[in-house]
Amino acid sequence: MKCQYCGNEIEEGKVYCSFCGKEARFIPDYNELDDKLLSYVSGQETGEIKPVYNPDIKKNVSDDLIADKDELRQTVGFFTMKVKLVILFVALFLSVITVITCFIVNSVTENRNYNSYDYQMEMGQASQDAKEYDDAFDYYNRALEIKENDSDALIALAELYLATGDEASYIDYLNQALDTIEDKTIIYKMLINYYDDNEEYDKIIDLCNSLDDKNLLYLFTEYLVPKPIFSSNGGNFSESFELSINAMNDCTVFYTLDGSDPSVNGYLYDDTITIDEGHTIVKAIAMNSKGVCSDVAEAEFEVVLKELVGPSASLPSGDYPDGGEITLTCESGFVIFYTWDGSTPNELSSQYVTPLQIPDGASVLSCVGMKPDGTTTPVTTYYYTKNVAQ
């Protein structure tokens, strides 16, 4: 259809001319009113020639054109509404498809993550770092369901229990991991550090004693304190003696002499111990700088002092007209002191070195044996007479 003002073609569906901008007046290709108007103007119906100009006819034509214009507007409005409805329907359809697609994708993703060991461990660590401990427990336990008895999951749960203050479960889960992991070094280190922080050194020793792999003994070096060493291993003795106790690595030694526990009743060792007559049970422990004690070293001593005998003379008491030479002997270790006047000898008396000669007249030889430690024999006495020539 062409614009009645500028003559240009008006695009279909538009009610305004794209060139002159004026409202288009639609004139259908065929209209019954046109035929009537033409017949009326030409006088075909009455056979009379009527004037072309008639206000009523113009008014009727205008009314019909306005009616056609309103009808067109209604048609365009209806079409526009239909287009909008179609667009709305398509948008709703696409939205539903999008929601369904997202739901399916999300479900597939959640299912994949739910069955992913790595995802559960990663989320467990992230939750633990964020102190969201309940979520962390859920993630780690799910990882343990996916990989039953997995050492990494057991260790993660152990550390989580420690972070929440459940120390008993911490130890329990580490022990479970100890049964499943191939390289047990990290578990032993964690247990050792925990017991050390709590000064439970006996638990460290128990852990060491339970080792199957002796190659891991180096982990326990600072907790393995050797027993102290006695200078004598015990036994029967005939005299008192001094016992020394030695410990390695500058350890401190505590001991008892009555067989009681030295870790409870022990005396601090700082010098040799005198083992006297009788039965003595010596127990001792060594303690390092951490307060870790060794096992108890023990030795028993029986000291039975034999009766000491004084020095003996080679010549018995008696008369020796011509005199004679006297040799004195005593037990090993004793020094002999003597007098000739019957007085009791002591360390200030004459010391026997060479054989003695019987003096003239009547004499009383008194002699005694002494050790440097003060041990003294009984005094022995001999009576001699040597006749003097007239």
Confidence of residue 388 (pLDDT cuts 50, 70, 90): low
217 to each of 7, 189, 284, 321, how far by Cα in Å?
Answer: 108, 12, 24, 84
The amino acid sitting at 263 is: S
pLDDT at residue number 114:
85
Of 12 and 33, more confident: 12
Q: Is the pLDDT of residue 351 over 90?
A: yes
Asked if 117-223 and 229-303 have one fold, the answer is no
String of DSSP letters for 79-145: HHHHHHHHHHHHHHHHHHHHHHHHHHHHHHHHHHHHT-HHHHHHHHHHHHHTT-HHHHHHHHHHHHH
Contact present, 223 and 208 (Cβ < 8 Å)? yes
The average pLDDT across 53-65 equals 55
Q: Which of 125, 194, 131, 139 is nearest to 164 (CA)?
A: 131
Bridge partners of 381, per DSSP, are 366
pLDDT of the residue at 45: 47
In which residue are the tokens 């299912």 written?
111
Q: φ and ψ at 306, to 5 degrees?
A: -80, 155
| pTM exceeds 0.75 | no
**Domain assignments of the chain as residue spans, ordered by start:** 31-113, 117-223, 229-303, 312-386
- The angle subtended at Cα 113 by Cα 107 and Cα 115, nearest 5°, is 105
**Angstrom distance (rounded) from CA 166 to CA 152:** 19
**Helix ranges restricted to H, 212-290:** 262-265
For residues 308 and 243, the model is more confident at 243
Q: What is the mean pLDDT of residues 289-304?
A: 92
Summary mean pLDDT of the chain: 85
Cβ(375)–Cβ(308) below 8 Å: yes
Q: Which of 1-5, 190-194, 240-244, 245-249 has the lowest mean pLDDT?
A: 1-5
The domain 229-303 is classified under which CATH number: 3.30.1370.60, 2.60.120.1310, 2.60.40.10, 3.30.70.20?
A: 2.60.40.10
* Neighbour tally for 187: CB within 10 Å: 22
Arithmetic mean of pLDDT, 173-185: 91
CATH of domain 117-223: 1.25.40.10
Q: Which of 27-41, 149-163, 268-282 has the lowest mean pLDDT?
A: 27-41
